[in-house]
């Protein structure tokens, strides 16, 4: 599959003018054999530095692309952190384009310098278990803190299926989880648009929906046969990443379910033993949300006035260490920006969205047949916290989701 990204740019029905730094995404067998043609086509002809680590250097043996300079990093202790990336930048031999060959960490070793130097960046993913490749976000540790920093996206992505198909089962499952999360992330976005008038783009929502369909079909096939359709799975990740570039935020790809991944990273009291890669934590969040959303669909809400989160509650759930950050995030709580009665008035439409989600049984079977993590105990969370974990994680980000809306609703 080759995706020409121009079709998504320009004036849109949503009223915005969308732009993309990514111009072409190639997902195909032996894609690397045509690498020079793609570079030529996009005018990426200048001095080229190619960044690998020793593992991806070995993995791509015999397929190394042409370079004016190769940098092969020692994978021991390698992490995406500003000081380490800046150290590598001292060795750069005045590149005019940077190519990164690897997964998340190596991508940031390409993305960050390219951004700082104002030159284009090209990605050759060796794994496709997340949607970060085509996003314009750098997840490196900055000033000692792990966070997502807006940065450039690759101009060109060349995913060679001969390389990617070597992915271990755990990463395949995690990749499936990250895309199936769109069931709830899209529902959250649409509900928020409905009750709070939050900006919504039908074109981007369609693209996210398409990524979800690609992955769902591939997951069904994988569940039934054990054969992974890497082409479809990889393209689903690429499309999901593009939605973040098109919106300049992750709204289409990340709702209440994604906050579970943040919760696991933050490790508040009682969650100290939680552990899992991104997609696994997201899978647990998605399954819990689907269960909760179906439950709520069967009830009738009544509006109650908005009350800000209290410091006592935040300290109880997050501990003193994290309390200040959580309080700050909720300073301008989105729940206080609209009349909760809107939710009640639009409940029939919301209920229809919730009813359209796959059933709990369907998801449970799919997850388990694909070897996905989806229960709290799969990622080291005490099942006794299952009822609370969504309400706690909803406080991590001031973004409107149905889980957050529960704070202004009584259900009967
Ligand atoms: Zn739009
Ligand atoms: Zn994700």
Please tell me the predicted confidence (pLDDT) of residue 3: 87
Q: Determine the distance separating the centroid of ligand 1 and the alpha carbon of 183, expressed in angstroms.
A: 20
Model confidence pLDDT, tens digit, residues 290-345: 999 999 999 999 999 999 999 999 999 999 999 999 999 999 999 999 999 999 99
pLDDT for 220 equals: 98
**Predicted local distance difference test score (pLDDT) of residue 204:** 97
How far, in Å, from the CA of 258 to the mean position of ligand 2? 6
Per DSSP, the residues of 49-83 read: EEEEEHHHHHHTTT-PPP-SEEEEE--TT---BHH
Q: Which domains does the chain have, with CATH numbers?
A: 2-166 (3.40.50.1970), 170-198+251-411 (1.20.1090)
- Which three-class secondary structure state does DSSP give residue 252? coil
Contact present, 273 and 341 (Cβ < 8 Å): no
Neighbour tally for 273: CB within 10 Å: 11
| Ligand 1 center to 218 CA (angstroms) | 27
Ligand approaching nearest to the C-alpha of 177:
2
Listed in sequence order, the residues at least 6 apart from 324 whose beta carbon sits closer than 8 Å to its beta carbon are none
Residue 70 — φ and ψ, nearest 5°? Answer: -105, 135
CA of 264 to the centre of ligand 2 (A): 13
- The secondary element (H helix, E strand) that includes residue 7 is none
Task: Report CA 63 to chain centroid distance, whole Å.
Answer: 29
State pLDDT tens for residues 346-388. Answer: 999 999 999 999 999 999 999 999 999 999 999 999 999 998 9
Residues lining ion ligand 2 (Cβ < 5 A) are: 178
CA of 251 to the centre of ligand 1 (A): 13
Q: How far does residue 46's CA lie from ligand 1's centre (Å)?
A: 33
Residue 357 confidence (pLDDT): 98
Q: Looking at beta carbons, which pairs linking 143-148 to residues 24 or more positions away fall under 8 Å?
A: 143/82, 146/265
Ligand nearest to the CA of 182: 2
The two beta strands, 2-4 and 24-28, are antiparallel
The helix (run of H) or strand (run of E) holding residue 3 is: strand 2-4
| pLDDT of 367 | 98
- Residue 240 has a pLDDT of 95
| pLDDT for the residue numbered 69 | 97
- Give long-range contacts, CB 8 A cutoff, 24+ apart: 189-195: 189/251, 189/252, 189/255, 190/353, 191/350, 191/353, 191/400, 191/401, 191/402, 191/405, 192/399, 192/400, 192/401, 194/342, 194/346, 194/349, 194/350, 195/338, 195/342, 195/343, 195/346, 195/350, 195/400, 195/405
Phi, psi of 43 (to 5 degrees): 70, 25
Q: What global pTM score does this model have?
A: 0.93
Half-sphere exposure of 318 (CA within 13 A, CB side): 25
Q: Give the Cα separation of 137 and 108 in Å (integer).
A: 9
Q: Which ligand is nearest to the CA of 201?
A: 1
- Å from CA of 397 to ligand 1 middle: 24
Q: How far is the CA of 363 from the centre of ligand 2 (A)?
A: 18
CA 185 – ligand 2 centroid, Å:
10
Contacts of 109 (CB under 8 A, 6+ apart): 51, 73, 80, 85, 88, 100
Coil, strand, or helix at residue 42? Answer: coil
Ion ligand 1: residues, CB within 5 A, are: 12, 14, 201, 203
Interval between CA 349 and ligand 1 midpoint (Å): 22
Tokens 């730094």 correspond to 21
Question: Can you read off the two tokens belonging to residue 226?
Answer: 């054990």
- How would you classify the pairing of strands 121-125 and 156-160? parallel
CB distance 287 to 384 below 8 Å: no
pLDDT of residue 145: 75
Q: Which ligand is nearest to the CA of 18?
A: 1
% of residues, the chain, pLDDT over 90: 88
The pLDDT of residue 139 is 81
What share of residues in the chain are helix, strand, coil (percent, to 5)?
55, 15, 35
Residue 345's pLDDT is: 97
- Output the pLDDT for position 395: 96
Q: Per DSSP, which regions of 325-400 are E strands?
A: none
- What local confidence, expressed as pLDDT, does residue 310 receive? 97
Averaged over successive runs of 10 residues, the pLDDT of the chain (412 residues) comes to 91 95 96 97 97 95 96 92 93 96 92 96 91 85 80 95 92 96 97 96 97 98 96 96 91 92 94 95 97 97 97 96 94 96 97 98 98 97 95 95 97 86
Q: Are 157 and 133 in contact (CB under 8 A)?
A: yes
Ligand at shortest distance from the CA of 16: 1
d(CA 234, CA 236): 5
Centroid of ligand 1 to alpha carbon of 18 (angstroms): 6
The Å distance, Cα 339 to ligand 2 centre, comes to 30
| Contact between 97 and 113 (Cβ < 8 Å) | no
């Amino acid at each position: 599959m080759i995706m020409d990204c121009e079709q998504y740019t320009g004036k849109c029905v949503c009223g915005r003018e969308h732009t993309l730094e990514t111009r072409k995404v190639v997902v195909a067998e032996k894609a690397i054999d045509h690498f020079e043609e793609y570079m030529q086509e996009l005018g990426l002809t200048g001095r080229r530095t190619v960044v690998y680590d020793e593992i991806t250097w070995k993995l791509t043996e015999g397929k190394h692309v042409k370079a004016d300079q190769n940098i092969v990093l020692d994978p021991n202790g390698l992490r995406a952190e500003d000081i380490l990336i800046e150290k590598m930048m001292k060795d750069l031999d005045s590149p005019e384009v940077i190519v990164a060959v690897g997964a998340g960490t190596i991508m940031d070793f390409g993305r960050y310098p390219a951004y700082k130097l104002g030159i284009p960046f090209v990605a050759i993913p060796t794994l496709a278990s997340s949607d970060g490749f085509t996003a314009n976000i750098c997840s490196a540790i900055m000033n000692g803190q792990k966070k997502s920093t807006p940065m450039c996206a690759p101009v060109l992505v060349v995913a060679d299926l001969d390389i990617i198909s070597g992915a271990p089962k755990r990463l395949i499952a995690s990749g499936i989880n990250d895309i199936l999360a769109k069931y709830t992330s899209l529902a959250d976005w649409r509900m928020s648009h409905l009750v709070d008038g939050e900006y919504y783009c039908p074109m981007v929502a369609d693209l996210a929906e398409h990524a979800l369909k690609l992955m769902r079909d591939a997951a069904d096939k994988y569940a039934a046969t054990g054969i992974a359709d890497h082409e479809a799975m990889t393209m689903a990740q690429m499309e999901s990443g593009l939605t973040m570039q098109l919106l300049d935020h992750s709204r289409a790809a990340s709702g209440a379910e994604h906050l579970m991944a943040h919760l696991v990273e933050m490790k508040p009291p009682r969650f100290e033993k939680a552990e899992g890669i991104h997609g696994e934590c997201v899978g647990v969040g998605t399954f819990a949300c689907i269960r909760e959303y179906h439950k709520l669909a069967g009830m009738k809400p009544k509006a109650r006035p908005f009350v800000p989160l209290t410091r006592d509650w935040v300290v109880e759930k997050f501990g003193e260490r994290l309390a200040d950050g959580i309080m700050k995030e909720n300073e301008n709580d989105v729940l206080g920006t609209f009349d909760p009665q809107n939710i009640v008035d639009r409940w029939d439409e919301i209920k229809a969205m919730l009813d359209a989600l796959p059933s709990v049984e369907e998801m449970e079977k799919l997850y388990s047949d694909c070897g996905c993590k989806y229960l709290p105990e799969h990622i080291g969370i005490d099942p006794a916290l299952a009822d609370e974990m969504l309400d706690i994680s909803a406080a991590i980000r001031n973004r409107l989701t149905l889980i957050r809306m529960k704070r202004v609703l009584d259900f009967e």
